[in-house]
Amino acid sequence: MEKSGHSLRGVIRSQVGRVCAVCTYQIANNTEERAMLGDFEKAVDDEVLDSSDAHQNQTIQLLSDPEKAEGFARVVFDLLKLAE
């Protein structure tokens, strides 16, 4: 469980940092209150919206193509099997 938490934090850090490099600097060099005054909240909102669009597109592709859905299920299975 802890392993996936670190992984999720890494993904979030990478994505928000990609959108707003200044946000990463602000977080590293300021208090939480001061960092939140900048573009941080907007960067998070932008990333959530971008992620939502990407997930919706993937969902449509998987639901409309049984072959893709089966392939995706096999990838998920393999990833879970490797995590054991």
**Per-residue pLDDT tens for 18-54?**
666 777 787 888 888 888 887 778 877 887 788 788 8
Residue 42 CA to residue 48 CA, distance in Å, equals 10
Q: How far apart are the first and last CA of the chain?
A: 12
> Into how many domains does the chain fold?
1
| Closest alpha carbon to 40 in 15, 7, 11, 4 | 15
Q: What range does the domain containing 78 cover?
A: 2-83
pTM for the whole thing? 0.47
